[in-house]
Structure 1
Amino acid sequence: MHISKIDLNLFTVFEAIYTEGSVTRASQQLHLTQPAISHSLNRLRQLFDDPLFVRQGHAMVSTPLARSIIEPVRSALRGLEVTLADTGKFDPALAGKQFTLALRDVLESTVLPPLLESVTRQAPMIDLAAIQVDRRELVSELAAGSLDVAIDMLLPLPNEIRREKISQDTTVVMARQGHPIVKGALDLDTYLKAEHILASSRRKGPGLEDFELSRLGLQRRIRLRCQHYFAACRVVSQTDLLLTMPEGYARIANQQFGNQIMPLPITMPSWDVYLYWHQNVENDPANRWLRQQVTQAFRASEQEETA
């Protein structure tokens, strides 16, 4: 069937039902009545000769066919949005919009203060939402436009996801003031004699520093595994455990604890931070402006750390 015979609005309805898992929520998202959404769904079912969604309890669950076509549909819709955008008239001072950024919690304290300061000053009607997204979902979320950008370490993502390195950081070790064996300097022997905290969102597995130690035939004792660096910094302040972490966040998280911060006594690759966006918004002026703000926010944060 030729595309001229198809109502392209049906695909907007299809994407909304898939995303929301509900005809009711899809109607709210698109500001249409439920009967209008149901009518569009019936037309889609006739078009594809497939139910596309089946009801299970209160949810609309997608069929295998629906799951196989969602990404091409999302990509096409996103491309149309960018094409139809008035590329010459994006004015952050007048625009009303919410940008959604995916980033790990360790980066929030680094980038959000300077980013929000800049956005508030330039764009009083633009809002930000910082969320954490499963890395396995980044490609589909960026393609769908439910994420505007993502900020993370270097990830093996397909070429349709553009990337730019926007920051790099060194690794440091934190110990409490008055530590019985760490007194202003830290050598490798002392590091290995101490007990350690590993802060990781993963339930098991070594940290990056453990990979480097294993390459040297060395191993450390991890006494505590926890989820967040801030909690680990507090534990450090009240115990003799050491914490290995990125320097930028260490300077921020340690402000209220006053722990010692020292270089890691082995060579570690830098913590490189990348900005990710979908190729469909490469030339979108709003997304381009957001990417510029994020990059400048990281630079401002780094300058503040070194001041």
Structure 2
Amino acid sequence: MHISRVDLNLFIVFEAIYSEGSLTRASLKMNLTQPAISHALGRLRQLFDDPLFERQGHVMVPTPLARSMIEPVRQSLRGFELTLNGAERFDPASSTRSFTLALRDVLEATMLPPLMAGIAAQAAGVGLNALQVGRRELESELAGGTLDAAIDVLLPLSPEIRHTQLVMDQTVVLARHGHPAVRGALDLDGYLRQEHILASSRRRGPGLEDVELSRLGLQRRVKLRCQHYYAACRVVSQTDLLLTMPERLARVVNQQFDNQMLPFPLPMPGLDVHLYWHANVDTDPANAWLRQRVIEAVGALPG
């Protein structure tokens, strides 16, 4: 079928239903009535001879065909958007655009303050949505334009995803002042004799420090596993537990607790942090401006 015979607005509706999982939310997103969304879905079903979405409770679940279509559709819509916007010069001073940046929650405390200060200095009307995206969805969301950029560790992504290293962080160990076994220094034997906190958003699995220890046939005792470094720092300040974490984040989160900060007593690879964006926005002035603000914000980080 030739493209001239297809209403391309139908694919915008398709993407909205897929993203929202609901006809009602899709209608709100597109500022259309629900009957209009239902009518568009009916035309799509007829066009592809497939239901595309099937209701399961309150959720519209995509069929296998819809799942196979979503990435090409998102990339095509993104291409149209960039073509239209490419004719316009991006002026930060007058722009009211809101960018979407994916980053892990452990990076928010260090990255966002200098980034927002840099944005405010040049673009008072520009906003930022910072959120966490699963690593499996990162590439597709960058390709589809639901993400403008992402900050994460080095990931095995396709050549369509551009990236540049932002920072190499080191690992430190925190212990409370007055800890009976830690007085300004900590060797590997002393580290292994203590009990530890592992801060992780995952329910199970080792930390990077545990992986390095296991290479030597060593294991530490994790007494507490919690979700956030702030809570872990507070526990450290009131117990004899040790916490191993990235240095730059420790300098921010540990300020009010003033725990001892010691080198990790084992050679360990630095923690690579990279900035990611899709090839289709490589030359987009707005995206390039955002990437430059991120790079400048990293340069302002402590340590």
Distance 2:127 2:264 in 1: 39
Other-structure match for 2:165 = 165
Contact 1:87–1:284 (CA<8 Å) still a contact in 2? no
**Displacement of 1:223 after TM fit?**
1.4
**Displacement of 1:73 after TM fit?**
0.5
SS state at 1:172 partner: strand
Distance 1:110 1:128 in 2: 15
Other-structure match for 2:23 = 23
**Displacement of 1:237 after TM fit?**
0.5
Other-structure match for 1:242 = 242
Runs of 5+ unmatched residues, structure 1: none
SS state at 2:10 partner: helix
CA offsets 1:216-272 (integer angstroms, 9 cap, x no match): 222212111111111111111111111111100011111000110011111000011
Distance 1:107-1:171 versus aligned 2 partners, 3 A rule: same
Distance 1:214 1:57 in 2: 46
Structure 1 residues 223-232 or 28-37, which shifts more? 28-37
Distance 1:29 1:286 in 2: 23
**Displacement of 1:88 after TM fit?**
5.2
In the superposition, the TM-score normalised over structure 2's length comes to 0.96
SS state at 1:163 partner: strand
Distance 2:210 2:42 in 1: 56
**Displacement of 1:37 after TM fit?**
2.2
How many aligned residue pairs are there? Answer: 303
Contact 1:87–1:285 (CA<8 Å) still a contact in 2? no
In the superposition, the TM-score normalised over structure 1's length comes to 0.94
Other-structure match for 1:252 = 252
Other-structure match for 1:294 = 294
Contact 1:143–1:278 (CA<8 Å) still a contact in 2? yes
**Displacement of 1:58 after TM fit?**
3.0
Distance 2:87 2:294 in 1: 20
Distance 1:205 1:14 in 2: 38
Distance 1:73-1:257 versus aligned 2 partners, 3 A rule: same
Tell me the amino acid that sits aligned with residue 120 of structure 1. A
Over the aligned positions, Cα root-mean-square deviation in angstroms equals 1.4
Contact 2:101–2:147 (CA<8 Å) still a contact in 1? yes
Distance 1:253 1:110 in 2: 9
Distance 1:22 1:252 in 2: 41
Percent identical: 69
**Displacement of 1:167 after TM fit?**
1.0
Contact 1:52–1:65 (CA<8 Å) still a contact in 2? yes
Distance 1:251 1:115 in 2: 17
Runs of 5+ unmatched residues, structure 2: none
**Displacement of 1:22 after TM fit?**
2.0
Distance 2:186 2:240 in 1: 14
Pairs within 5 Å for 1:181-200 = 181-200=181-200
**Displacement of 1:128 after TM fit?**
1.0
CA offsets 1:75-109 (integer angstroms, 9 cap, x no match): 11111111221355100111111111111111101
SS state at 2:11 partner: helix
Contact 2:281–2:287 (CA<8 Å) still a contact in 1? yes
Distance 1:12-1:254 versus aligned 2 partners, 3 A rule: same
Distance 2:210 2:280 in 1: 39
Distance 1:60 1:205 in 2: 33
Distance 1:95 1:127 in 2: 10
Other-structure match for 2:61 = 61
Distance 1:88 1:60 in 2: 36
Contact 2:198–2:244 (CA<8 Å) still a contact in 1? yes
Distance 1:263 1:279 in 2: 39
Distance 1:144 1:216 in 2: 43
SS state at 1:162 partner: strand
CA offsets 1:160-184 (integer angstroms, 9 cap, x no match): 2211111111111111001101101
Distance 1:222 1:54 in 2: 45
